């Protein structure tokens, strides 16, 4: 009799948990699911639902544990293995995620979503050749699966297979004419003089990489531009210099903010990527953060800035005239503008096959002079490692006339 009452009580808790889950009350739903599995450790559906809640709360390690337990209890369910793979991939446990996806594929071999996520697992885990093989297999089965087409084009581009990448971008644009990344990268491969990338392309690019952006830049690519720009500013102004109002243009996850905070009384950060802004906000180094384009924000600024910093930002702009002009309009007399550029050994600016822009030194100097800036410091520098070699560029310090 007591056992029956316990089951009825747990059933009521389960109904309540499902209702809370559907309403989006995830914390409460998770607590209810947790109470049930504490008493019924073999309740496979409850472990699965608990994993869904934990995944939605971005507790991917906990979600993986719940899905793993559900998979032990119902090993023939492909959805459980698929979600285990998702949680493990988000936790960057790529080898385990691969095994979960492979098990899901054994149970559901025609599921394109499983195959696609296996490819993503290889891509995010630093195995581009394996990812290419999986995406190629998927597109043989399902030619219209555009996310795989997009990733495959990107990977062939990354691997230097430009002819294949160009063909894939063209296929993607035939299916999705409004695809901003495909349009921009195809223009880069074809050497077309596009003055700036689509706004959506830049936003989506950095939204995608926001979670592991710093790890890749600082640990894998040896990124050092913010620190070098800081040295330039301190070298000119001295260790005791303080700036009343500074702005970090294209602030990303806040590396510049952390580096320059000691020099700034009030520091603003702006970026196109909402996810980057979220990460930057967590560092609590900015006094103000905003999601915005650079030029409109500067044009609408009411109080002048005395320090402007743009680390690895101008590489996403071709014609720098509008930015230099807007920055001059938002700068106090004597203000400093510190930034980096990738070097174009020709004239003017060029759109590289990477999708980034390079600028000739003479073009920077001419545009600076034309918009009210004076070049006070310039130095050549390796910006970061790319393809095993240092990418050569330039560091600049301008002063408002």
Could you give the CA distance from residue 130 to residue 230 in angstroms, rounded to a whole number? Answer: 40
pLDDT tens column, 42-92:
999 999 999 999 999 999 999 999 999 999 999 999 999 999 999 999 998
- Residue 398 pairs in a beta bridge with 337, 375
- pLDDT value at position 213? 46
- pLDDT value at position 325? 97
pLDDT tens column, 133-161:
999 999 999 998 999 999 999 888 888 89
pLDDT at 334 over 60: yes
For the chain, percent of residues with pLDDT exceeding 70: 93
Beta pairing class for 357-359 and 349-351:
antiparallel
Close Cβ partners of 32 (under 8 Å, ≥ 6 residues apart): 13, 14, 16, 17, 20
Could you give the CA distance from residue 52 to residue 304 in angstroms, rounded to a whole number? Answer: 48
| 229 or 199: which leads in pLDDT | 229
Choose which CATH entry (3.30.200.20, 1.10.600.10, 1.10.3720.10, 1.25.40.10) describes domain 1-109: 1.25.40.10
Close Cβ partners of 120 (under 8 Å, ≥ 6 residues apart): 89, 131, 151
Break the chain into its structural domains and give their ranges: 1-109, 208-400
CATH number of 208-400: 3.40.50.150
- Residue 381 pairs in a beta bridge with 393
Question: What letter does residue 392 receive in the DSSP assignment?
Answer: E
Q: Residue 315 in contact with residue 197, Cβ under 8 Å? A: no
Token pair in block for residue 391: 């990418």
pLDDT tens column, 29-56:
999 999 999 999 999 999 999 999 999 9
**Start-end of H helices in 125-198:** 128-141, 146-158, 162-175, 180-190
Q: Across the chain, what does the average pLDDT equal?
A: 90
Q: Of 332, 329, 254, nearest to 289 (Cα)?
A: 254
The pTM (predicted TM-score) of the whole model is 0.76
pLDDT tens column, 79-133:
999 999 999 999 989 999 999 999 999 999 999 999 999 999 998 888 989 999 9
């Amino acid at each position: 009799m007591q056992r029956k009452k316990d089951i009825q009580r747990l059933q009521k808790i389960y109904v309540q948990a499902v209702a809370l889950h559907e309403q989006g009350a995830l914390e409460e739903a998770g607590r209810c699911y947790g109470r049930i599995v504490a008493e019924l450790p073999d309740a496979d559906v409850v472990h699965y639902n608990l994993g869904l809640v934990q995944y939605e709360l971005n507790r991917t390690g906990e979600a993986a544990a719940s899905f793993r337990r559900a998979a032990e209890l119902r090993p023939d369910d492909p959805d459980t293995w698929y979600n285990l793979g998702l949680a493990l991939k988000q936790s960057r446990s790529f080898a385990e995620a691969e095994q979960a996806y492979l098990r899901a594929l054994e149970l559901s071999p025609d599921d394109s979503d499983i195959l696609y996520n296996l490819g993503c697992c290889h891509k995010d885990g630093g195995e581009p050749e394996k990812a290419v093989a999986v995406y190629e297999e998927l597109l043989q089965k399902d030619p219209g699966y555009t996310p795989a087409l997009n990733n495959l084009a990107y990977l062939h581009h990354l691997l230097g297979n430009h002819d294949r990448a160009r063909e894939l971008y063209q296929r993607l644009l035939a299916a999705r004419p409004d695809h901003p990344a495909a349009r921009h990268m195809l223009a880069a491969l074809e050497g077309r003089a596009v003055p700036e990338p689509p706004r959506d392309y830049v936003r989506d690019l950095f939204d995608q990489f926001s979670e592991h952006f710093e790890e890749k830049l600082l640990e894998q690519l040896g990124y050092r531009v913010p620190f070098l720009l800081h040295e330039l500013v301190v070298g000119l102004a001295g260790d005791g210099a303080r700036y009343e109002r500074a702005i970090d243009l294209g602030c990303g996850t806040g590396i510049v903010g952390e580096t320059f905070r000691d020099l700034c009384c009030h520091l603003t950060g702006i970026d196109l990527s909402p996810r980057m802004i979220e990460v930057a906000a967590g560092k609590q180094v900015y006094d103000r953060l905003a999601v915005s384009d650079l030029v409109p924000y500067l044009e609408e600024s009411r109080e002048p800035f005395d320090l402007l910093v743009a680390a690895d930002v101008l590489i996403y702009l071709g014609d720098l005239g509008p930015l230099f002009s807007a920055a001059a309009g938002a700068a106090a007399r004597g203000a400093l503008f510190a930034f980096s550029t990738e070097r174009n050994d020709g004239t003017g600016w060029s759109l590289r096959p990477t999708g980034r822009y390079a600028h000739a030194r003479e073009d920077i100097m001419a545009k600076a002079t034309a918009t009210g800036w004076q070049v006070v410091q310039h130095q050549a520098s390796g910006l970061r490692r790319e393809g095993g070699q240092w990418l050569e560029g330039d560091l600049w310090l301008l002063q408002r006339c």
